[in-house]
Amino acid sequence: MLRRFFQFRSSTKSKQDLILIRFIIERFGYRPKKLRLFKEALTHKSIANTSKKLRSNERLEFLGDAIFDAIVADYLFEKFPKEDEGYLTKIKSKVVNRKSLSAIAAEIGLIDHIIYQKGRTIKVSTLEGNALEAIFGAIYLDGGYQAVYKTVKYHIFRKYTDLNTLLEEEIDFKSKLYIWAQKNKLPLDFKVLKEENLGHKWNYQVEVIIQNKSFGMGSGSSKKIAEQAASKETLLLMGEI
């Protein structure tokens, strides 16, 4: 009897509908209840404008952008209980920016399911990133906040983006050190110890000076890289990272 029920349900949906349902389940870990929301999320305005029956994903994109922003803030707040507002804001901006969203969407393979007018000059990365936000909006309307939270935490972060690598690459140690110095009302400076031309590249060695005392040192092919390395060593010495 149960088998017949599922056969009946499958038979009422088109092949394209079943492909879309399977895609949403596999990539987002969510089973759609109102499939029309997900079809809308994947409909670009370039094609929606050509038909009265189709609605573009712009409204869902607006909603999904806000929901994703809140969920990332929620997630980072729990993940980094000892970090201040400045740190959390900086990290969140790296996770929710257009470049990160487009990269996630490309990894998911979203472009294969987006309906848009081909042949027009439309930037694919923007198309994908916007559609991803629209999918978040669709999941929110279909299943609520917790459904989107689970999708982001257990599927987006675990499968399609290495959050730890992203955090490691994007942390601005110099800014973090400046925030720490300002909070503790201590003067901070960077002293160039060595600046040499090695022929094919330059090498800089920089030292952090706090309240006229030497702390961490760092080297690199530019002052900026050397200052980041010196800042990281200083923060490690102080037990701040």
Indicate the annotated binding residues for Mg(2+): 61, 130, 133
Burial bucket for residue 139 (CB in 10 Å: 0-12, 13-18, 19+): buried
31, 9 in Cβ contact below 8 A?
no
Residue 207 annotated in active site? no
- How far is Cα 161 from Cα 95, in angstroms, rounded to an integer? 9
3-class state of residue 82 by DSSP:
coil
User: Which one of the listed residues 65, 142, 207, 227 is annotated catalytic?
Assistant: 65
- How far is Cα 23 from Cα 31, in angstroms, rounded to an integer? 10
Q: Give the sign of the dihedral formed by CA 227, CA 219, CA 165, CA 209.
A: negative
Identity of the residue numbered 43 = T
136, 69 in Cβ contact below 8 A?
no
Query: Tokens at residue 190, please?
Result: 């960077």
Residue 195 annotated in active site? no
Query: Tokens at residue 165, please?
Result: 């690598």
Annotated binding-site positions: 61, 130, 133
Give 71's contacts (C-beta < 8 A, 6+ positions apart).
145, 148, 149, 152
User: Which one of the listed residues 128, 133, 142, 207 is annotated catalytic?
Assistant: 133
140, 67 in Cβ contact below 8 A?
yes
Give catalytic residue positions: 65, 133
